[in-house]
Amino acid sequence: MSELRTTDESGPTEVRVSAVVGAPVERIFELLADPARHGELDGSGMVRAAEGTGPLTGVGQRFVMEMLWTDGVREYRVENHVTRYEPGRALEWLVADHGHDPQGWRWGWVLEPRPDGSTAVANYCDWSAVTDPEVLRAKGFPVVPAEQVAATVRRLDEAVRPVPGPS
């Protein structure tokens, strides 16, 4: 099977990568709504594990993730605040350093079911609402480049791809 073709749709304050994934939207959304699975999908190597959470069920929930900074050394935690939860359509959260309020950047997924049973998928990080120059400097957006977001989308595809049965 050929490698999933991704498209970089990034802009000045957003990294966005899209692809058509060969799985139904329900299977994809179920996987994305489970923070415990985010580490296996992450193409950046930063997401380590979800801390004490089950699957997401709605806006307003929070989930904590164990992380590793881009230097590959510094460990930290983030608290994600779910801001969009539309089963089979979209999932988004604001990111906050653990114990602090969100500072304006969000990660999310947009899903669009297709008639053939596949799903158009977009994964993004948007920092357009970050106005504090110190936050912009400290985080160094984009923290995760488009190539690593594309790797996340490819890992999602691999995770939901049907396993071939015996021939």
Q: For 51-107, what is each residue's pLDDT tens digit? A: 877 899 999 999 999 999 888 888 999 999 999 999 999 999 999 988 999 999 999
Residue with token string 């602090």: 100
Mean pLDDT of 144-148: 97
Q: What is the pLDDT of residues 11-67, one digit of tens each?
A: 999 999 999 999 999 999 999 999 999 999 999 999 998 987 789 999 999 999 999
Interaxial angle between packed helices 146-160 and 25-32, expressed in degrees from 0 to 180 and rounded to the nearest 10: 120
Return the HEC string of the chain.
CCCCCEEECCECCEEEEEEEECCCHHHHHHHHCCHHHHHHHCCCCCEEEEECCCCCCCCCCEEEEEEECCCCCCEEEEEEEEEEEECCCEEEEEEEECCCCCCCCEEEEEEEECCCCCEEEEEEEECCCCCCHHHHHHHCCCCCCHHHHHHHHHHHHHHHCCCCCCC
CA angle 138, 47, 123 (to 5 degrees): 85
Residue with token string 């939901």: 160
Cα–Cα distance, 7 to 122 (Å, whole number): 9
| Phi, psi of 117, rounded to the nearest 5 degrees | 90, -5
Cα–Cα distance, 106 to 82 (Å, whole number): 9
> What's the confidence (pLDDT) of residue 152?
98
Cis previous bond, 142, omega within 30: yes
Q: Retrieve residue 77's tokens.
A: 């935690």
Structure confidence at residue 161 as a pLDDT band (50, 70, 90):
confident
